[in-house]
Structure 1
Amino acid sequence: MYNEEAVIPALVARLRLVLDSLGVPYEFVAVDDGSIDATAAVLDRLRASWPELRVIRLRRNSGHQAALTAGLHRAAGTWIVSIDADLQDPPEAIAEMLRLAEAENLDVVYGVRRDRSTDTRFKRHTAALYYRLMRRVVGAGLRPHAGDFRLVRREVVNVLRRMPERVPVYRLLIPSLGFPSGVIHYARERRAAGQTKYPLRKMVRLAWDSTADFTAAPLRLATWLGSAALLACLISMAFALSEWARGSTVPGWSSLFLAVLLFAAVQLICLGLLGEYVARIHRTLQNRPMFHVEYDTVDTSTDRAPSATRH
């Protein structure tokens, strides 16, 4: 959750009904990703009437995948379901996920969106392109249009906790592990309240993290760009020499200027791609935590208890 005070009442009304009807012990782990609105206060009030509600608040906004990591690493259940707070993914599908996993002895059940008509045309097309590209990177195990709404067994979480990923992209990382999996299909709903927390900037960042974490193809692209630039340079030199031999050259600086500009741009692109990978190595060596927990309502080791007055 990040600044989701408007959607929490609708989320709790639907989610609690689903979880209570399962007939099994459960906990609802709400990860507050450093919200600056009244999200923390609303959650704290709800805990008085819902003992299964557990709140983990991060000290600052650390990002969607970091907040998801905090929830996965601290959840205590045999089965763990991750779901966003905006109600675009229906909580009612959780019961179907659990039945499928137990009936077929699966470790992962993905929620796959069969209908994305509530998304904009731009988002539908870019999402389709993203999944096509990522299937080429990860393989056929990646389910198209499966986001972060999924059910996983405890053993899967234990494996994820041992992995050294600094910027995990779980929609790619979990399929790459090869655990037995299944899918349930659902229609993606409109956001119940509030504003989207995933603008274009974050979608582009997710696409880049997905690419850089799972393939060295951008580095190979830099190699191909350099090779193409070298070939173009050799062709240009041969053409210039032939024109000079024929005596038909026209003095000027335009062609030289454009050539220098082209090759300088290629070099900068290659340096930028190399720099991105070096930066990831640097972050890995620093070994800084992805997130800092301000408090966990069932963990006495955190710094302090939650306050209903803190927004």
Structure 2
Amino acid sequence: MEKLTIVVPAFNEEAVLNRTLQKLQKIENELIHSEILDYSSDILIVDDGSIDHTWEIIKKFHKENQQFKGIRLSRNFGHQNALIAGLSSAVISADLVVTIDADLQDDPMVINKMLNYFANGADIVYGVRNNRASDTWFKRTSAVVFYKILNLIGVKLIPNHADFRLMSKRAIKTFLQYKERNIFIRGIIPLLGFKSAKVYYRRTPRLAGKSKYPLKKMLAFAWDGITSFSIVPVRLILFLGLLACSLGVFMFFYTIINNWLGLTVHGWSSLMISIWILGGLQMISLGIIGEYIGKTMLEVKQRPRYTIQQHLK
């Protein structure tokens, strides 16, 4: 039998964490009693710098039952880094790991199906939403656009998959060899190349609390996904530059012909429009280049992805 560790990143989740941990414990214990999992299987919660009572809840569960483990990061390092912290710790002793968010909008009842695929040789099993009925129109539309853009620039994602997945020990060890700081886990996992499978489930609304991904964070996350995997935005700058130069050559000959025909009309409208458009393109181009330079600077510094303040083993 294999040891499973369920990794749960949590940031200010005091409103739902009690119910989440009770439900995950019940599911894991049922699998243990069915002799599907080893009795040492556990649940690891990563407190990503919460400022509410999340850590106190984790300590309470750990004190009552050693099945619960906890990691407290020294500050908020972000969801992706909290996941990496959990995976790095869990892979030491676990044979496989399931990652799931603390709000339990992803259905933990399909973990059993994931284990079936794992038993049949899959190293990675993706949890995939079968619908987006619970999302707003804007969120559904923006998600479709996001996946299409990433697909166009060559990033192969699993549509409607977030961070609910099962990974084997060797898949995790391979993933942890990717050392970049500007990391986009959803894009890296398919690159590992191991045998994979999908399980489908219906995503439910949050039981309590607020989403940790408001619009601002969602847009930042999408931008990180694009710039972490592709230089297409920089190539787009080159394309716009060539287009502007071609337009300039065209306007040069157009002006000569108009002068020759005596059709020149003196005015400033076309001049001002050209200045504003070209100036805007230059500023956008500098911003995109600056984004890549900034990311390169962060990678070169090689700062730690996270700092562990306390570890409940």
Give your verdict on TM over 0.5: yes
* Range that drifts further, 129-138 or 239-248: 129-138
1:16 and 2:25 aligned:
yes
Judge conservation of contact 1:65–1:167 (CA < 8 Å) in 2.
no
* Displacement after TM superposition at 1:110 (Å): 0.3
Judge conservation of contact 1:10–1:192 (CA < 8 Å) in 2.
no
Count of aligned positions = 296
Q: What secondary structure does 1:48 align onto?
A: helix
* Range that drifts further, 21-30 or 234-243: 234-243
Q: Which runs of 5 or more residues in structure 2 are unaligned? A: 1-9, 33-37
Query: What is the rounded CA distance, in whole Å, between the counterparts of 2:303 and 2:78 in structure 1?
Result: 15
Query: What is the rounded CA distance, in whole Å, between the counterparts of 2:312 and 2:98 in structure 1?
Result: 19
* Displacement after TM superposition at 1:134 (Å): 2.6
Please point out which of 10, 16, 25 is paired with 1:7.
16
Query: Residue by residue, what CA displacement relative to the aligned partner does 1:30-68 show, whole Å, maximum 9, x if unpaired?
Result: 011101111111111121222111111111111111111
Aligned to 2:59: 44
Look up the equivalent residue of 1:123 and give its one-letter code: K
Aligned to 1:95: 112
Aligned to 1:230: 245
* Percent of aligned positions that are identical: 36
Judge conservation of contact 2:182–2:299 (CA < 8 Å) in 1.
no
Query: What is the rounded CA distance, in whole Å, between the counterparts of 2:73 and 2:142 in structure 1?
Result: 31
Query: What is the rounded CA distance, in whole Å, between the counterparts of 2:179 and 2:154 in structure 1?
Result: 18
1:191 and 2:206 aligned:
yes
Look up the equivalent residue of 1:105 and give its one-letter code: G
Judge conservation of contact 1:138–1:172 (CA < 8 Å) in 2.
no
Query: What is the rounded CA distance, in whole Å, between the counterparts of 1:287 and 1:26 in structure 2?
Result: 33
Judge conservation of contact 1:11–1:85 (CA < 8 Å) in 2.
yes
* Displacement after TM superposition at 1:196 (Å): 0.3
* Range that drifts further, 162-171 or 150-159: 162-171
* Displacement after TM superposition at 1:81 (Å): 0.7
* Displacement after TM superposition at 1:239 (Å): 1.8
Judge conservation of contact 2:16–2:208 (CA < 8 Å) in 1.
yes
* Displacement after TM superposition at 1:282 (Å): 0.7
Look up the equivalent residue of 2:43 and give its one-letter code: F
* Range that drifts further, 115-124 or 193-202: 115-124
1:250 and 2:265 aligned:
yes
* Displacement after TM superposition at 1:69 (Å): 1.0
Please point out which of 86, 90, 108 is paired with 2:124.
108
Aligned to 1:307: none
Higher relative contact order (CA 8 A, sep 6+): 1
Judge conservation of contact 2:103–2:206 (CA < 8 Å) in 1.
yes
Q: What secondary structure does 1:224 align onto?
A: helix
Once the two structures are superposed, the pairs formed by residues 19-30 of structure 1 within 5 Å of their partners are 19-23=28-32, 24=38, 25-30=40-45
- 1:115–1:151 CA distance, 2 compared to 1 (3 A): same
Query: What is the rounded CA distance, in whole Å, between the counterparts of 1:38 and 1:154 in structure 2?
Result: 32
- 1:139–1:58 CA distance, 2 compared to 1 (3 A): closer
Query: Residue by residue, what CA displacement relative to the aligned partner does 1:187-228 show, whole Å, maximum 9, x if unpaired?
Result: 011111100000111111121111111111111111111111
* Displacement after TM superposition at 1:139 (Å): 5.9
- 1:122–1:62 CA distance, 2 compared to 1 (3 A): same
- 1:228–1:198 CA distance, 2 compared to 1 (3 A): same
Look up the equivalent residue of 2:130 and give its one-letter code: R
* Displacement after TM superposition at 1:21 (Å): 1.1
Aligned to 2:87: 72
* Displacement after TM superposition at 1:260 (Å): 1.7
Once the two structures are superposed, the pairs formed by residues 76-225 of structure 1 within 5 Å of their partners are 76-102=93-119, 104-138=120-154, 142-225=157-240
CA RMSD of aligned residues (A): 1.4
Look up the equivalent residue of 1:61 and give its one-letter code: N
